[in-house]
């Protein structure tokens, strides 16, 4: 917005004042908008020629809420809750005309108005909890007065967007208008003149019983899994029954301000901007993605089936090829059973499942890929197998068909070597289950063209996933860092900790699953095979823990063999004396005097392992920014968004403390844990690791 342009303007049409907010890109309620809106309402209220008021927005959306860029800075008056109170108190009817996404403060402006209209397709909601906050302009007080406590509580605690139809049914809006929104709003304003005014804040709240209230709150606590904002949002909605709106708004504001300063609040704002930043990839500014209609998938095992489901869900025609007819048939049932589970849980209709299965063709002849715009390979992670496959594919598919590999550890440059034009090869590393996990590490190999990369990113986005750029290195971003994390987990065992203690420290911190439970779930055999491959080239000067090898030698591969780090009783992990015995032996063999570990030390040590290797990956250009690493861990490794990711947590511990910890690791565990120069520089200059954030 240029400085001379007013973000809020008022136009008079007969006796109706039309107030328009125009603050691209999403009409956020920044200070100038709040001040302009307040002045316009006061002006119209005091103007004898005006009988009613319309509030609408220019551009693609109604306001998407508070200006997040102002958050965490000293508040600038007027506050939106005051502006909303003024709208509600206006002596003339105020009609709010929603369109696009009316979120947070945007939705709240309407809740304070006297009549609410929405254009078809409008989405409304209170997503503040996704920023670690609660609504701050009366949302938790006015919404229950309009739609009742249970529905308001659910919306405020989840931050879910609702469609206009649902909002109408619940009573959050009065009408969905089919014609021109502004004309309809002006008509509604005329109709409201001299009718009794309905002020949401003055409506009674229909109270619910104490038992139901407790049940609702407990449900929110369970789902929040340690996140504070949803629980506070739910409490505020419940409290609306025992307070007047002005009293409730004061309480709401106290909580809004308090949460703004918490680590969770800062972490979630960091993640909001990180996600938008991740889409900016240097060198792709002028690249256009190819139009993709038909996608091929090689392999219909767990990964291939998951990828196929994601592609079918996104509307692509999908061609899957397996090794033989039986494998193809098994693949078809694997794909169908994922859809069937979604039908059984009510997430998908029978009809939608049938339509998706009709877009799938599955067989065992690679020639079926000839019409494809992209083929994604998801076969066994073996370099020779993949190289041969890519060479065969490049002879079959169209010259402009993109070839993507889903390898997790192999070198995409080596996979692309025998293809006729390696510029159309990229990595698309999905995470299991591929139809659910949001992360796709999108890998630029040595020859990958800008258009190939742009297309891979666009497809991942169309699958409603989060593509994160990665360069080529073993394990790409996520698994590369994870191997340092895994080793520190095992070293702590040798030094005195037990698996369940490390798991508890990380789970109490917010991870849905501690590292050892996660290792057991994904299986210990894959990492074992990798270690065996690397054994010949391993530097003996670096510390190596044999504990995991011992478990594997006993056939303990994790949950799938009913034993790994834990033993499993009815699918539940139980600490196992055998594991403890192996751990104690390992300490004895190395003459390590065992000691106890506190939760903070465990967290610091694991964050350090991730952050130091993250800094190295940054230095090498494997990853573009520290915040991308955070997104990888949140969307691929189960870290909750409110922890902000490992690089965010490294800053929270303080980079000097992280450096000190790496120096200890280096002295104790060998050169693999040498402090990353970027980390050393960051501490020296008192700056973030990549100078961003």
Would you tell me which residues interact with ligand 3HC (CB under 6 A)? 25-26, 28, 64-69, 80, 101, 103-105, 108, 127-128, 131, 135-137, 139, 276
Instruction: Indicate the residue among 271 and 606 with the shorter CB distance to ligand 3HC.
Output: 271
Q: In terms of DSSP H, where are the helices of 511-654?
A: 515-522, 525-534, 547-553, 577-589, 599-619, 626-636, 646-653
Q: Region of 602 please: left (phi>0), alpha (psi -120 to 50) or beta.
A: alpha
Sign of CA dihedral 564, 570, 575, 577: negative
Number of H helices, E strands in the chain: 28, 19
Shortest CB 223 distance to ligand 3HC, Å: 19
Shortest distance (Å) from residue 236 CB to ligand 3HC: 12
Check: CB of residue 646 under 8 Å from CB of residue 623.
Answer: no
Q: Taking CB positions, which residue lies at the least distance from ligand 3HC?
A: 104
Determine if residue 664 is left, alpha or beta; phi over 0 gives left, psi from -120 to 50 gives alpha, anything else beta: alpha
Smallest separation, CB 460 to ligand 3HC (Å): 15
Residue with tokens 């590369």: 480
Our CA angle for 610, 463, 432, nearest 5°, is 45
Which residues have CB under 8 Å from 247's CB, separation 6+? none
Q: Provide, rounded to whole angstroms, the least separation between the CB of residue 280 and ligand 3HC.
A: 8
Smallest gap, in angstroms, from Cβ of residue 178 to ligand 3HC?
23
DSSP 304-316: HHHHHHHHHHTT-
Shortest distance, position 208 Cβ to ligand 3HC, whole Å: 24
What end-to-end distance do the CA atoms of the chain give, in Å? 24
The residue among 188 and 237 lying less far from ligand 3HC, judged by its C-beta, is 237
Output 65 or 306, the one with its CB closest to ligand 3HC. 65
How near is the Cβ of 38 to ligand 3HC at its closest, in Å?
14
Q: Which residues in 254-266 are b (16+ Cβ under 10 Å) and which e? A: ebbeebbeeebbb
Closer of 23 and 435 to ligand 3HC (Cβ): 23
- Residue 64 Cβ vs ligand 3HC, minimum distance, rounded to whole Å: 3
Task: Decide whether 67 or 661 has the Cβ nearer to ligand 3HC.
Answer: 67
Nearest to 405 by CA among 379, 384, 438: 379
Write down the least CB distance from residue 68 to ligand 3HC, Å.
4
Instruction: Specify the residue for token string 């303990």.
Output: 556
- DSSP of 270-328: HHHHHHHHHT--TT-TT--PPP--EEEEE--SHHHHHHHHHHHHTT-EEEEE-SSHHHH
For ligand 3HC, the closer CB: 246 or 677 = 246
* Closer residue to ligand 3HC (CB): 49 or 276: 276
Query: Is residue 140 within 8 Å of residue 156, measured between CB atoms?
Result: yes
Nearest approach, Cβ of residue 101 and ligand 3HC (Å): 5
CA 408 to chain centre: 21
Q: Which is nearer to ligand 3HC, 265 or 475 (CB)?
A: 265
User: What does the alpha-carbon distance between residue 629 and residue 468 come to, in Å, rounded to a whole number?
Assistant: 9
> Element (H or E) spanning 82, and its range?
helix 80-89
Please report how close the Cβ of residue 187 comes to ligand 3HC at its closest, in angstroms.
Answer: 28
Q: Which is nearer to ligand 3HC, 69 or 590 (CB)?
A: 69
User: CB of 135: closest distance to ligand 3HC in angstroms?
Assistant: 4
Distance of alpha carbon 627 from alpha carbon 477, whole angstroms: 12
The helix/strand/coil state of 550 is helix
Nearer to ligand 3HC, 65 or 475 (CB): 65
**Is 67 or 628 the residue whose CB approaches ligand 3HC more closely?**
67
For 369-406, give the DSSP string.
GTT-SEEEE---S-HHHHHHHHHHHHHHS-TT-EEEE-
Closest distance to ligand 3HC from the beta carbon of 275 (Å): 8
Which CB sits closer to ligand 3HC, 67 or 255?
67
Residue number, 70 or 525, with CB nearest to ligand 3HC: 70
């Amino acid at each position: 917005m240029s400085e001379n342009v007013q973000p809020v303007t008022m136009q008079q049409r007969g006796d109706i004042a039309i107030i328009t907010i125009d603050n691209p890109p999403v009409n956020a309620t920044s200070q100038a908008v709040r001040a302009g809106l307040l002045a316009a309402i006061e002006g119209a209220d005091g103007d004898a020629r005006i009988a009613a008021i319309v509030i609408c927005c220019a551009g693609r959306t109604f306001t998407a809420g508070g200006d997040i860029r102002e958050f965490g800075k000293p508040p600038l008056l007027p506050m939106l809750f005051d502006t909303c109170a003024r709208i509600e108190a206006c002596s003339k009817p105020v009609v709010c005309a929603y369109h696009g996404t009316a979120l947070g403060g945007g939705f709240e402006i309407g809740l304070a108005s006297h009549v609410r209209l929405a254009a078809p397709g409008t989405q409304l909601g209170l997503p503040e909890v996704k920023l670690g906050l609660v609504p701050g302009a009366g949302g938790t007080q006015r919404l229950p007065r309009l739609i009742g406590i249970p529905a308001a509580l659910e919306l405020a605690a989840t931050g879910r967007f609702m469609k206009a139809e649902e909002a109408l049914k619940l009573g959050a809006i009065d009408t969905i208008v089919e014609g021109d929104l502004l004309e309809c709003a002006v008509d509604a304003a005329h109709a409201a003149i001299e009718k009794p005014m309905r002020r949401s804040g003055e409506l009674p709240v229909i109270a619910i019983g104490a038992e139901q209230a407790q049940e609702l709150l407990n449900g929110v606590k369970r789902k929040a899994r340690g996140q504070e904002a949803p629980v506070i949002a739910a409490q505020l909605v419940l409290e609306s029954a025992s307070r007047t709106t002005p009293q409730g708004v004061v309480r709401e504001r106290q909580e809004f301000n308090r949460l703004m300063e918490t680590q969770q609040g800062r972490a979630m704002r960091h993640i909001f901007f990180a996600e938008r930043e991740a889409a900016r990839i240097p060198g792709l500014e002028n690249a256009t993605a190819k139009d993709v209609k038909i996608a091929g998938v090689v392999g219909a095992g767990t990964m291939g089936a998951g990828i196929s489901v994601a592609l079918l869900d996104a509307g692509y025609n999908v061609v899957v090829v397996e090794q033989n007819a039986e494998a193809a048939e098994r693949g078809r049932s694997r794909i169908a059973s994922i859809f069937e589970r979604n039908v059984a849980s009510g997430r998908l209709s029978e009809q939608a499942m049938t339509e998706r299965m009709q877009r799938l063709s599955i067989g065992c002849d690679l020639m079926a890929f000839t019409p494809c715009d992209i083929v994604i390979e998801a076969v066994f992670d073996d370099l020779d197998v993949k190289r041969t496959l890519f060479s065969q594919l490049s002879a079959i598919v169209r010259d402009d068909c993109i070839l993507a590999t889903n390898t997790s550890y192999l070198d995409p440059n080596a996979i692309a070597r025998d293809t006729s034009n390696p510029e159309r090869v990229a990595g698309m590393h999905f995470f299991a289950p591929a139809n659910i996990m949001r992360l796709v590490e999108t890998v630029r190999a040595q020859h990958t063209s800008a258009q190939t990369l742009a297309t891979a990113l666009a497809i991942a986005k169309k699958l409603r996933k989060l593509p994160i750029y990665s360069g080529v290195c073993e394990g790409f971003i996520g698994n590369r860092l994870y191997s340092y994390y895994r080793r520190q987990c095992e070293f702590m065992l040798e030094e005195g900790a037990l698996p369940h203690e490390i798991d508890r420290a990380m789970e109490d911190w917010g991870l849905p699953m501690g590292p050892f439970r996660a290792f057991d779930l994904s299986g210990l055999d894959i990492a074992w095979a990798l270690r065996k491959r690397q054994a010949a080239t391993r530097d003996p000067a670096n510390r190596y823990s044999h504990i995991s090898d011992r478990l594997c030698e006993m056939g303990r591969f994790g949950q799938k063999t009913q034993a790994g780090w834990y033993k499993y009783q009815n699918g539940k992990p139980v600490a196992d004396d055998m594991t403890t015995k192996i751990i104690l032996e390992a300490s004895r063999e190395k003459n390590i005097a065992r000691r106890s570990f506190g939760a903070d030390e465990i967290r610091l040590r694991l964050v350090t392992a991730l952050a130091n290797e993250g800094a190295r990956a940054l230095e090498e250009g494997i990853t573009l920014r520290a915040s991308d690493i955070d997104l990888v861990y949140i969307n691929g490794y189960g870290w909750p968004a409110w922890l902000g990711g490992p690089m965010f947590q490294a800053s929270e511990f303080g980079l000097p403390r992280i450096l000190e910890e790496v120096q200890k690791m280096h002295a104790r565990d060998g050169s693999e844990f040498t402090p990353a120069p970027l980390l050393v520089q960051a501490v020296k200059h008192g700056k973030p690791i990549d100078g961003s954030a």
